[in-house]
Amino acid sequence: MRGRIAEIDELLKNTRQQLDLARDRRGELQATAAKLQSDLQHLADTCLNELGIERPILMADTTI
């Protein structure tokens, strides 16, 4: 019985570590996604301010 409890405790410990790693990774991915979203907004603003063209219109122009 004690051996089985020790096995379950070890499994629980490993599972918690995996969960912590997954949460850390999720946080990293969320931060990266937020930065990319910010960069996209900056590019859209730059297109409009410097070129006078909205980003979707500029991206649709295949002659560039």
- Domain ranges in the chain are 2-60
Average pLDDT of the segment spanning 3-22: 97
Extract the tokens encoding 41: 């907004």
pLDDT for the residue 5 = 95
pLDDT tens digits along 18-48: 999 999 999 999 999 999 999 999 999 999 9
pLDDT for the residue 64 = 79
CA dist., res. 61 & res. 29, Å (int): 31
Whole-prediction pTM: 0.69
What is the Cβ-side half-sphere exposure of residue 32, based on CA atoms within 13 angstroms?
Answer: 6
DSSP H or E stretch at residue 16: helix 2-46
Q: Are 44 and 58 in contact (CB under 8 A)?
A: no
Q: What is the mean pLDDT of the chain?
A: 95
